[in-house]
Amino acid sequence: MCLLTLAIDQSRRFPLVVAGNRDEFFNRPAARLAWWSPGPGLPDILGGRDLEAGGTWLGLTAEGRMAMVTNVRAPTAPRDAGAPSRGEIVQRWLAGDATTDRFWMRTALSGYNGFNLIAADFQRGDCFYATNQSSHPVRLERGLYGLSNGTLDTPWPKVEVLKDAVREAVGTCETVDALAARLFEALGDRTPADDGELPNTGVSAEWEKVLSSAFIRTPDQTYGTRCSTLVIAERVNKRLVTHVFERTFSATGGMALLRRSLLKDWPPRYAEAPPSHASAQEAVTESTETQEMAQPVRRTRVRTLLKPDPPARRKRATA
């Protein structure tokens, strides 16, 4: 990914919303949204797939794990051409069962080029942000977060614009399809930042301008936004139903292709057994039209997706 937002427990109706764009060279082969296996005996992954180096930029499992990665673009971050693919980090998190601390100890020493990682284990009620520009992962609480090729919530113009769009959309949209349409519109914004707002990430001012919009297409059409992905969890009475959308684009434009997948009872509640793979996974279908109307939500007491952090609660209590 090169741009994404994550909203956790910011809406009673939509407790989890992820919206992001993957920017990449068009000659790098990739598979579209689908369930695929990372290896024998490992949990299947729902997401796109990098067919050149393996791994994925955003994915989730029926067992309750989710992760997404962006690269870091900074003048002080030297790039090693022989480093392993950062998409491998997401696959390793999704296919494993290690706690965040154990996973981070192995990942931080594996020689990846600069990266940002958001990793959630909803079965444990945890979500973390980590970057190899820092020593330790940070536990995320309920909130709205934005990420591009800087660190978490670095206020680049396109990050702030997308966060504002997500905040407005989750507060006003009444159906999943209306919310998806609004978020796809925001991810498709081609407006570049003003010259005075451009970050300094070690590339030329011309490239900073090209890369400053949410949706990217280089003049030579060799690089740009390959796909836009949404993960929207909807609360229907006491159940959660999660919709995963992927809209893919070609270098030359034309009609975008849309895939949509549905997961029932996902994310799982923390401290409960994860849903079986068979009950959570549904077939991925192609569509260019929205299909289902959401059901009304009964006003009941609901549980947050993330387990409250005891140290954080104690700190707030003594503040």
Rounded Cα distance between 245 and 261, Å, is 7
- Look over the chain and give the mean of its residue pLDDT values, rounded to a whole number: 88
**DSSP 8-class letter at 269:** P
Superfamily of domain 3-293, CATH level 4: Penicillin V Acylase; Chain A (3.60.60.10)
The pLDDT, as a whole number, for residue 285 is 41
pLDDT digits (tens, 9 = 90+) for 58-90: 999 999 999 999 999 877 767 888 899 999 999
Neighbours of 53 (CB within 10 A): 11
pLDDT for 311 equals 59
On whether the CB atoms of residues 123 and 303 are closer than 8 A, the answer is no
Band of the pLDDT at 275, cuts 50, 70, 90? Answer: very low
Q: Which two tokens stand for residue 172?
A: 């006003």
pLDDT digit string (tens) for 208-255?
999 999 999 999 999 999 999 999 999 998 899 999 999 999 998 877
Query: pLDDT by residue (tens digit) across 110-121?
Result: 889 999 999 999
> For position 68, what pLDDT does the model report?
98
Contact at 8 Å (CB) between 224 and 8? no
DSSP summary character for residue 160: H
> What ranges do the domains of the chain cover?
3-293
Q: Residue for token digits 């952090």?
A: 309
Rounded to whole angstroms, how far apart are CA atoms 233 and 109? Answer: 34
pTM: 0.88
Model pLDDT, residue 308: 86
Predicted local confidence at residue 202, as pLDDT? 87
pLDDT score, position 80? 86
